[in-house]
Structure 1
Amino acid sequence: MLSEPTLTSRAEYGRAAPLLVWRSEGPLRAISSGPLGGGIGVRRWVLNATVSMSYDRDDPAAHLAALAADLALDGPGVGLLTGVDVAEVVARTDTGVRAWATVGLGTPVPAAAPAPAVLAQPVGTVNIVVYVPARLADAALVNAVATATEAKTQAIMELGLAATGTPTDAVTVLCPVDGSEAAYGGPRSTWGAPLARAVHAAVLAGGDRPVVPWSDQVTS
């Protein structure tokens, strides 16, 4: 079982930068596109860290691993980064599926649109973490990421944006390591349907309020 996230902070840029931490009492199966702990494997925690919108480190995985070590997070985990205050996380539950989203839409883009030579706005990030209370097969985990992304896109379009997401969005789905495997994770499957509804509701709620980039919320 994945815990509710704990809000903490660390010193960065001379300020208290917020962190969200999810812990598990035991190992969980996971799939993630995060810079740390991406791919499919067994994970024990998830870390979502706020960074400045001017963040330009070329070693995000090493940075997140160092943050995890500072928090005494043991074993393999998932690390995510965002330029918004993770204290603004939105959680929604549907039929036992729990979804959390930190929603930054500073640069909403259609996925297949031509890339501009220069980004005119700061890059925003939508980070989604989902816990499904049933073991998912590998294919179902992959399908669950697609379902979460489709639900996110639906919410973004309902917010009035002609976009599918931002250039730096990440999705993490976790589930138990034991039990009978669910073979499917699509939006009409047993677990994909509530996953889609929970993610859609979380992203819609998170995007329907003003979000100021973290670096703009503090003064020196």
Structure 2
Amino acid sequence: MVLEPILGDRHEDGRNIPLLAWRIGRPLLAISSAPLGGGIGLRQWIINATVPMWYDRDDPDAHLCELAAELGFEGPGVGLMTGVDVAEVVTAADEGVRVWATVGLGAPIWAAAPDADSSRVGTVNIVVAVPVRLSEGALVNAVATATEAKAQALWDLGVAATGTATDAVCVVCPPDGPAAAYGGPRSEWGGRIARSVHAAVRSGGGTGKGSGMPWSDRNQ
């Protein structure tokens, strides 16, 4: 299973705004928390779209469907959004698992902290590709594992947070074949997911690509 995103852009509000797009030839089994295509099911494409920091549409799912149509994508897919430049995507791999992360840390939070200022924004979007089928339980566990690895990376970076309020994750795998039963961090595939996500988020939030600067701040 080989997935490679294409970096493109769209013309919107008088600007060329970047987006990443994965065109999946054969539908893959996916689990996601994205605003479009969330849940578990077969998916035929993935989009991770930059939006300006002044973005105020209240229908991101419909907006992402519009972007998919402009790209000629058909069928069900997964759509994510972020305020950072998706051209700064960071990749990592571990024994067959591949991860792509766009890391925006403009508004880091502790998951269990009291509600705070919601005017600041920041999003960590993570896409994980596993080359073998995962059971539905393992898919759920894989999301938890990716989230734990993200939080560990933030800890290593000295960021006092578990993530941001708008983080999203998508895990895809083949829809057939023998199903791996587990996705926890000490399982075969869960361990590979954890290491790949940790490497990508740590790189993206550190001195490498993906400084987390809002796209609009880069393009004033």
Same fold at TM > 0.5: yes
CA deviations over 1:107-162 (Å, ceiling 9, x no partner): 0000000012x33x621000000000000010000000000000000001111011
Mapped to 2, the partners of 1:41 and 1:178 lie a distance apart of 13
**Take 2:18 and 2:137, find their aligned partners in 1: how far apart are those partners?**
34
Shift in Å at residue 211 of structure 1? 3.0
Rounded to whole Å, the distance in 1 between the matches of 2:15 and 2:2 is 29
Q: Map of 1:98-137 to 2, 5 A cutoff?
A: 98-116=98-116, 118-119=117-118, 122-137=120-135
Unaligned runs of 5+ in 2: none
Structure 2 SS opposite 1:182: coil
Q: How many residues align?
A: 217
Match of 2:147 in 1: 149
Structure 1 stretches of at least 4 aligned residues deviating more than 6 Å after TM superposition: none
Which shows bigger deviation, 22-31 or 82-91? Answer: 22-31
Q: CA deviation at 1:2?
A: 4.5
Instruction: Summarize deviations over 1:20-78 as a string: whole Å, max 9, x none.
Output: 00122201000000000000000011100000111121100000000000000111100
Root-mean-square deviation (CA, aligned residues, Å) is 1.0
The CA distance in 2 between the partners of 1:146 and 1:216, in whole Å, is: 32
Partner of 2:76: 76
Matched letter for residue 174 of structure 2: P
Normalising by structure 1, what TM-score? 0.96
Q: Distance in 2 between matches of 1:205 and 1:212?
A: 14
Partner of 1:194: 192
Q: Unaligned stretches of 5+ in structure 1?
A: none
Equivalent in the alignment of 1:51: 51
1:181 and 2:182 correspond: no
Question: Percent identity of the aligned residues?
Answer: 66
